[in-house]
Every structure is written in structure tokens, then in C-alpha cells.
Structure 1
């Protein structure tokens, strides 16, 4: 399990086309990729299971904790990204609720764009 950050502080200012915003790049793929949004309510859980493909969890709101194969939980908050390799056991849970994007693809290499946390 690897931790990255995609928060505003890790982004770059974009001014082309008269723009004024900050972009935090996350990843780029050429193979089939699935992207979803998960909404966990209070005391929500994504149960302990094996990743069927490399998976990147991007916390966009709320807070919670994650674990990999060892029985140790790590806190996550908005701007955190957690990467699990194929077949890696993992779990996500929250007491207060959280919303996260999940990206699944055989071709994920988040270290190309994001800094490790």
C-alpha cells in the first residue's frame, strides 16, 4: 500500500487560455480504466478484500482510515490517495463519512504524477 497526495499544494498553476486555476495531475493510462465515486455514510465500510486490479482511492471529502495486508490502520483525509496493487488485501472505513473516487486499471503508476505522502 502506497500513499500519495493530490492536494492543492501539490498542484501547478495554469494560466493558458486566460485560465486561473491549480491542477493536481493524478495519472495517465492507455489501457481500459474504470473510474467510480464511492459515498460512505457514517460508520461506512468497504470490507476487507483483495484488489482484483491495481486500484487508486482518492479521498475528496470527509475522513476515514485504510489498511493493507497488515492489521494497522492509517488516517486519510481530502487530498490523500491510496494505491493498492493487484491481489493486495485492503479495507476502508469511516466514522463520520467520506467520499472517494476510485480508479481501477491494469496500467496504473501514480508515482509518475503525484508525490508520495
Structure 2
């Protein structure tokens, strides 16, 4: 057994795609799945990028908005999840600090 910490201080700054106010903590990496905890500070953003594989964003705390492609911004918050399919452009913005679990699923990561 291993106990993992995923509070904000355990994460590493994530600045890819012009992201701001984001920290990421990889919890698990396997052949077919990867699990990462993201913290997005209020006013922060995960920059627009294509999903490299199918992704599930499970919001456990906070709230913000998400957008896929050039579609409308959608409100999301704790207790909700968002699915992006491989190749789908998307971005996430935090209105209040967000904690989310990202599950990436593919035949091989």
C-alpha cells in the first residue's frame, strides 16, 4: 500500500499551452490509464489544447467554466465531470479554486 498526497503543495506547476495558475500531481501511470490531480487557482486556466487521448475531468471542489472547440462556455462545479474525446480542443477556467481528477484513457499512453 502507498498513501499519496495531492494537496496543492504536492503538485508541480503546469504551464503547457499557456496555462496559468495550474499545478498537477501525477498519481498513477499505466499502459491504458493515467490519473492526475489538477489544481486550478481562481482566475487560472488550463490553456486550450487538443486532448491527446480520451479524458475525463472529475471536479471534486470549486467551480469554473469549460469550452470545447469554439462552442459555448459551460458552467461546471464540484460533483460534475466533463468528457473530452481524443483530438477535441478544450480549455478550463477556474472561477473559484478547482481541484479535479483527470483520467486519461487509451490503449497505450
TM-score (norm 2): 0.67
* Structure 1: 5+ residue stretches without partners: 1-30, 108-117
Moved >3 Å (runs of 4+)? none
Structure 1 residue aligned with 2:90: 90
TM-score (norm 1): 0.63
Structure 1 residue aligned with 2:59: 59
CA-CA distance at 1:44 after TM superposition: 1.0
Structure 1 residue aligned with 2:23: none
CA-CA distance at 1:71 after TM superposition: 3.6
1:105 and 2:102 are equivalent in the alignment: no
Partner SS state of residue 70, structure 1: coil
CA-CA distance at 1:96 after TM superposition: 1.8
Higher strand content, 1 or 2: 2
RMSD (Å) for aligned C-alpha atoms: 1.6
Count of residues paired in the alignment: 78
Q: For the pair shown, which has the larger CA radius of gyration, 1 or 2? A: 1
Deviations 1:7-32 (A, max 9, x none): xxxxxxxxxxxxxxxxxxxxxxxx62
Structure 2 residue aligned with 1:39: 39
Partner SS state of residue 82, structure 1: strand
Matches for 1:18-33 after TM superposition, within 5 Å: 32-33=32-33
* Structure 2: 5+ residue stretches without partners: 1-30
Partner SS state of residue 72, structure 1: coil
